[in-house]
Amino acid sequence: MQNGAVTQFPAGFMWGSATAAYQIEGAADEDGREPSIWDTFSHTPGKVLAGDTGDVADDHYHRWPADVAAMAELGLKGYRFSISWPRVMPGGQFNRNGADFYSRLVDALLERDILPVATLYHWDLPQHLEDAGGWPARDTALRFAEYAEQIGQVLGDRVHMWTTLNEPWCTAFLGYAAGVHAPGRTDPAAALTAAHHLNLGHGLAVKALRGVVSPAALHSVTLNLHHVRGDAEAARQVDAVANRVFLGPMLNAAYPDDLLADTAEVTDWAFARDGDEAAIAAPLDMLGLNYYAPVRVRPWGGTGTRATSDGHGFGPGTPWVACDNVEFMPLPGPYTEMGWPIDATGLTELLRRLHDDHPGMPIMITENGAAFDDKVEADGRVHDDARISYLREHIAAVGAAIAAGVDVRGYFAWSLLDNFEWSYGYSKRFGLIHVDYESQERTWKDSAHWYRDVIAANAL
C-alpha cells in the first residue's frame, strides 16, 4: 500500500460524500410530505440555535440536478443520501410523488456513474408515529419495515447499497434521554426501549428489503461508534451503552450481559421479546462507520460537575444512561468548530477493534468530516486549509488500517454541502461546498478541489 509518501488505495475503493434529507432538501410541505419530529422540534422555540429550521435548508429538492452535476465534477464514485420517511409515507400511506423524487435522483446518479447509497432513516421520524409513541413503541419498528418494503419496491432495482439506520445511538439517547435532539424527551428507560426498537426495525427492514430489491444490492447499517479511552471500568460502561447495545444484537444476535446488568435499575428489558435478537441479526454485507473524535473517561467522584468532551453535552438530561459514575474528560486540541478534538489515530484504532471483534465484516467509512468557520473570501474562494488537513489525516488513518489488514471498502466525506446542523442550525459548516443560505449559491471550497484530486488518483 505504501509507495514512498503516497498511500495508494485498493482498486474499486469507493470515494463518496454524504448528506441527509432534512438537512438539505427543504420543500418541507411540498408534494404531500408530512411533518417529521425535526420539523416539530425546530419550530419549538429554544430548541435550535437562532430559531433555524429545515424548511428551506439547501433547497436540494429543487436544485438537485445542479448538485448531482457537482458530484460528477468532484468525481464521486458513490453518493450517500437519506430518504425522507415522511415524504414517502405521509400518514402511513405510500406517496408516489415523494418516491418519484428519489427515483429521479437515483437515475441521475447512475447516468453519471455514481453509485447510489440510500439510507432509510436519518432521524426524521414522521410526526404521526411520534404522536403514537415514537421509537419507544414497538409498532414503530413494524411501520419502519413496511416503509422499507414500499421504497424498496420503487428503487430496489437501482440502489447499490441500502443502509437501514444512521446513528441509532443519536436517535435513542440524544432524542429520548438527553433531550437535545428531536423529539426532546428525557426518559432513560424510554431511550433503552427506543434503542431496542431501532435494532428490531433494522432487522425487520433488512428482511423486507431482501424480499423486494435486487439480489446484487448490499445491505448495511451505519453506527457512530465511540472510540473510548481511559479508565478500563469506566470505558467498559460507556462502550456497552454507546457501541455494544447495537453491535451485540446486530452482529452477534445477543445483547451483552454487562449492558443488561448495568441498566437493570433503569429497565427490566421486558420490551425485548423472544425471537427479537434473532430478527435483529439479519445478515449484513457491510458495516457503516461514522467517526469524528474519540472520548476519554474516568470514574466520577460524585461531587461537582462532570466534565464532558463527548461532543453532545448533557442538555436537560444525559445521553449516558446507567453511566452515572463516569466522567468525560477534556481531550487536547486542536478542535473543530464543534469543539471536537482532532485525533485521527482513534479512527485507525476503532477500525482495528472492529476487525478483531467482527472478523469478515467489511467496513465503509460512511461519515467523516469537520466543521470550521468557513467564509467566501474576496477572491471568491473558500480557503479551508484546516479541513484539508483534517481530511488528509483521517484518510491516512483509513489507509493505515487497510495496511494492517482491515477490510475497508470506501470513504464518504461529511458532507457534500453546508447544511442544517440539527440543534446548531446553520451555525456550523461541514460541507465541501459552501452554501449561501440567502441566495442558495454554491461555492466550492479548497477542500473540494483537494478531494477531487485524491479521488482521481485513488491515493493520498
Q: How far is CA 39 from the centre of its chain?
A: 19
Task: Clarify whether 146 is annotated catalytic.
Answer: no
Place of cell 446507567: 322
Q: For residue 415, is the peptide bond before it cis, meaning its omega torsion is within 30 degrees of 0?
A: yes
In the sheet where 326-329 sits, what is the strand order?
Answer: 228-230, 295-299, 326-329
* Of 130, 277, 367, 421, catalytic: 367
* Of 167, 277, 327, 421, catalytic: 167
C-alpha grid cell for residue 159? 440502489
Give the C-alpha distances (Å, rounded to integers) separating 166 from 223, 267, 402: 6, 25, 24
First and final CA of the chain: distance in angstroms?
Answer: 11
Q: Bridge-partner residues for 157, per DSSP?
A: none
Q: Yes or no: say if 209 and 119 are a contact pair by the CB < 8 Å rule.
A: no
Q: Bridge-partner residues for 80, per DSSP?
A: 18, 117
Strand, coil or helix: 417: strand
Q: Yes or no: say if 452 and 73 are a contact pair by the CB < 8 Å rule.
A: yes
Instruction: Name the burial class of residue 356, with classes exposed (0-12), middle (13-18) and buried (19+) by CB atoms within 10 angstroms of its CB.
Output: exposed
Tell me the C-alpha distance between 16 and 300, whole Å.
Answer: 41
Q: Bridge-partner residues for 194, per DSSP?
A: none
Strand, coil or helix: 255: coil
Strand, coil or helix: 209: helix
Q: What is the DSSP letter of 214?
A: -
Contacts of 66 (CB under 8 A, 6+ apart): 442
C-alpha grid cell for residue 144? 419502519
Task: Clarify whether 167 is annotated catalytic.
Answer: yes
Q: Yes or no: say if 87 and 30 are a contact pair by the CB < 8 Å rule.
A: no
Contacts of 268 (CB under 8 A, 6+ apart): none
Helical axes 96-111 vs 60-74, angle rounded to 10°: 20
Any idea which residues carry the catalytic annotation?
167, 367
